[in-house]
């Protein structure tokens, strides 16, 4: 059970950041994972009054506030048009609509959860995070960092020309994924993001140029075999490492073939 001693609706990011420097304090998101913990929170910091619950689109990028819900991602017309539905595919099986109405982008990305469909799909894009203290950094670099006391303000998805596809395998509908994969071709570079390994999602770029000659059956198979060698997997109660590795090969082939047809 979570016990909260004090609750503060921050009036500015500066105030939220200062409060968050104390170890016993915590930034609130949707509270869906936090409430499952057995912990004492000295001061709960709510960002709900800071205007971070909107998806803003310009000619160059999408700006996704940290308090945007997963349901907003699922239903945003512009974002899903740009990603050919990949974002919608990534979040539509996360528990249920009520859950997605509460879960936030900020919490999903900041947590860097191994099971995160959200982190996986955005890793495959030209994405940055904006931190209050750390500024804008690539999502890939952020995903590799340890958690600190900074505040994630927003997610920025650049509208780099690209094609995207997402797929995950679950033991049952709405469960955590056994493996999650997002494939993309962004600015001519082919990428594969893999999450639920069951470790934190990682990004693999086609450094060996398997797909440089185009998406063909032989080249896709060669990339998939290489990806299985490059991406480590592990065991947990949902699946074993060998099974996960095989799924990486299968899903990566399917996704890149889908991208090639787009």
Answer with the residue of higher pLDDT: 261 or 148: 148
Range 184-219 burial, b when 16+ CB lie within 10 A, else e: bbbeeebbbbbbbbbebbbbbebeeebbeeebeeeb
For each of the domains in the chain, give its residue range(s) and CATH number, in order of start.
Answer: 2-46 (no CATH), 55-158 (3.30.465.10), 162-261 (3.30.390.50)
Q: Where is 195: in which H helix or E strand?
A: strand 189-195
For residues 100-122, average pLDDT: 94
Q: What is the DSSP letter of 35?
A: G
Q: What is the pLDDT of residues 159-216, one digit of tens each?
A: 999 999 999 999 998 889 999 999 999 999 999 999 999 999 999 999 999 998 889 9
Q: CA 174, CA 93: separation in Å to the nearest integer?
A: 5
Q: What is the pLDDT of residues 16-46, one digit of tens each?
A: 999 999 999 999 887 766 766 778 899 999 9
Q: Is the pLDDT of residue 54 over 80?
A: yes
26 Cβ neighbours under 8 A, 6+ residues apart = 20, 34, 41, 43, 44, 45
Q: Is the pLDDT of residue 92 over 80?
A: yes
Mean pLDDT of the chain: 94
How many of the other CB atoms lie within 10 Å of CB of 30?
Answer: 20
Q: CA 135, CA 55: separation in Å to the nearest integer?
A: 19
- Judge whether 124 and 164 are in contact, CB under 8 Å: yes
Q: CA 22, CA 35: separation in Å to the nearest integer?
A: 20
pLDDT of residue 33: 66
Q: Is the pLDDT of residue 262 over 60?
A: no
pLDDT of residue 133: 96
- The overall pTM is greater than 0.85: yes
pLDDT of residue 213: 87
Q: What is the pLDDT of residues 1-10, one digit of tens each?
A: 888 999 999 9
Q: How far is CA 67 from CA 29, 48, 179, 211, 249, in A?
A: 7, 7, 26, 37, 35
Pick from 165, 161, 77: nearest CA to 120: 165
């Amino acid at each position: 059970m979570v016990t909260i001693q004090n609750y503060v609706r921050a009036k500015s990011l500066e105030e939220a950041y200062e409060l968050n420097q104390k170890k016993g304090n915590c930034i609130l998101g949707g509270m869906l994972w936090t409430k499952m913990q057995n912990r004492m929170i000295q001061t709960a910091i709510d960002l709900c009054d800071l205007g971070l619950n909107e998806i803003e689109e310009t000619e160059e990028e999408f700006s996704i506030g940290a308090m945007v819900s997963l349901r907003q991602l699922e239903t945003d017309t512009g974002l899903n048009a740009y990603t050919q539905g990949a974002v919608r595919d990534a979040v539509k099986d996360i528990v249920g609509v009520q859950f997605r109405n509460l879960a936030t982008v900020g919490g999903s990305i900041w947590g860097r959860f191994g099971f995160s469909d959200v982190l996986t799909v955005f890793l495959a894009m030209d994405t940055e995070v904006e931190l209050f203290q750390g500024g804008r950094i690539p999502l890939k670099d952020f995903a590799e960092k340890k958690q600190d006391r900074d505040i994630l303000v927003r997610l920025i998805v650049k509208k780099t020309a690209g094609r995207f596809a997402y797929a995950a395998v679950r033991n049952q509908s709405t469960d955590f994924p056994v493996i999650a994969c997002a494939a993309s071709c962004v600015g001519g570079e082919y990428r594969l993001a893999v999450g639920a390994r069951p470790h934190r999602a990682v990004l693999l770029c086609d450094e060996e140029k398997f797909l440089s000659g185009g998406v063909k059956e032989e080249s896709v198979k060669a990339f998939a075999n290489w990806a299985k060698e490059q991406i480590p997997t592990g065991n947990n109660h949902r699946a074993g490492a060998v099974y996960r590795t095989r799924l990486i090969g299968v899903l990566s082939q399917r996704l890149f073939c889908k991208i090639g047809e787009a």
